[in-house]
């Protein structure tokens, strides 16, 4: 049987989709599913909310915490009134924090956290975030002028688990975020940075397979082997 890889979805109100028939959707970009399938896994979507997180975690072999909107600053003693905040979903924050605390604790699973996923992991383990990168950096290299995708190069620590997984220490990545890790959560180690020293990847000490990346490897996984290897390694670990 192929490993079952749970992928968290956007919240029911996080992305508006125009249709006559429904008002709310649990949403996930198809590229996440594609990358898991190429790696030999079976994707299982995990919408936020409900009280079945333990049952969901018990049913899957690996976990991907996907990108999405901003984390509510109240979760990390931040500025709730910051005018740059967008896409906050309190149910999703609560669900993913609970899920990650279980996945990094007694009910550990191979876990990959992507973009917002890296930020919510850091918050779940007691870390904090910058609400808005332009508040702390003169130049914002992490998104395009319209707030969308940009590409930039990141450096990965030689000898880190992530560098071994990707078989690379320097990669060009797709990025589109305006928040970032500030104070690092308990047990987490920064293993990659951008040119402006913003953290780009985290690993959890003592966990058999946990990688968090601030960029979006699913965007280039089909054409960039270093990025597909992240999903391949996760699925392999989940199946072992």
- pLDDT category at 127 given cuts 50, 70, 90 is very high
The answer to whether 138 is a known catalytic residue is no
CATH number, domain with residue 204 = 3.40.50.880
**Mean pLDDT across the stretch 18-25?**
91
**Mean pLDDT across the stretch 199-228?**
97
98: helix, coil or strand? helix
Q: What is the pLDDT of residue 93?
A: 96
**For residue 220, pLDDT beyond 90:** yes
pTM of the model: 0.96
Q: What is the 3-state secondary structure (H, E, C) of 135-203?
A: HCCCCCCCCCCCCCCEEEEEEECCCCHHHHHHCCCEEEEEECCCCEECCCCCCEEEEEEECCCCEEEEE
Q: Which of 96, 131, 203, 218 is the catalytic position?
A: 218
- pLDDT category at 230 given cuts 50, 70, 90 is very high
Neighbours of 93 (CB within 10 A): 22
Q: What is the pLDDT of residue 153?
A: 96
Q: What is the pLDDT of residue 59?
A: 94
Instruction: Write the CA distances from 235 to 5, 207, 222, integer angstroms.
Output: 7, 16, 16
The answer to whether 216 is a known catalytic residue is yes
C-alpha span between 176 and 198 (Å, rounded)? 13
Torsional class of 61: left (φ above 0), alpha (ψ -120 to 50), beta (otherwise): alpha
Q: What is the pLDDT of residue 13?
A: 85
What is the β-pairing status of strands 42-46 and 4-8? parallel
Q: What percent of the chain has pLDDT over 70?
A: 100
Q: What is the pLDDT of residue 138?
A: 92
Residue 101: domain span: 4-239
Sheet with 170-175, side-by-side order of all strands: 42-46, 4-8, 62-65, 111-114, 210-213, 199-204, 188-194, 150-156, 170-175
- pLDDT category at 53 given cuts 50, 70, 90 is confident
**For residue 108, pLDDT beyond 90:** no
The total of structural domains in the chain comes to: 1
* Pairwise pLDDT comparison (51 vs 80), residue with the higher score: 80
The answer to whether 218 is a known catalytic residue is yes
Radius of gyration of the chain (CA): 17
Q: Which of 14, 113, 115, 132 is the catalytic position?
A: 115
Assess contact for 21 and 211: CB atoms under 8 A: no
Neighbours of 1 (CB within 10 A): 6
């Amino acid at each position: 049987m192929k490993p079952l890889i749970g992928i968290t979805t956007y919240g029911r109100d996080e992305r508006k989709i125009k249709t006559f028939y429904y008002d709310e959707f649990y949403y996930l970009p198809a590229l996440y599913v594609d990358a898991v399938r190429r790696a030999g896994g079976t994707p299982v979507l995990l919408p936020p909310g409900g009280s079945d997180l333990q049952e969901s975690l018990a049913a899957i072999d690996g976990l991907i915490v996907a990108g999405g909107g901003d984390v509510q600053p109240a979760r990390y003693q931040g500025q709730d009134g910051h005018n740059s905040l967008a896409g906050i979903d309190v149910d999703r924050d609560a669900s993913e924090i609970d899920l990650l605390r279980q996945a990094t604790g007694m009910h550990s699973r191979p876990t990959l956290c992507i973009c917002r996923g890296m930020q919510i992991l850091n918050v779940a383990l007691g870390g904090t975030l910058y609400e808005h990168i332009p508040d702390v950096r003169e130049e914002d290299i992490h998104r395009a002028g319209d707030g969308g995708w940009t590409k930039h190069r990141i450096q990965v620590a030689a000898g880190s688990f992530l560098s071994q997984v990707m078989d690379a220490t320097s990669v060009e990545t797709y990025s589109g975020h305006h928040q970032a890790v500030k104070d690092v959560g308990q047990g987490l180690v920064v293993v990659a940075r951008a040119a402006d020293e913003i953290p780009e990847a985290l690993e959890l000490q003592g966990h058999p397979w946990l990688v968090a990346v601030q960029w979006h490897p699913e965007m280039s996984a089909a054409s960039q082997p270093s990025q597909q290897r992240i999903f391949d390694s996760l699925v392999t670990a989940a199946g072992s």
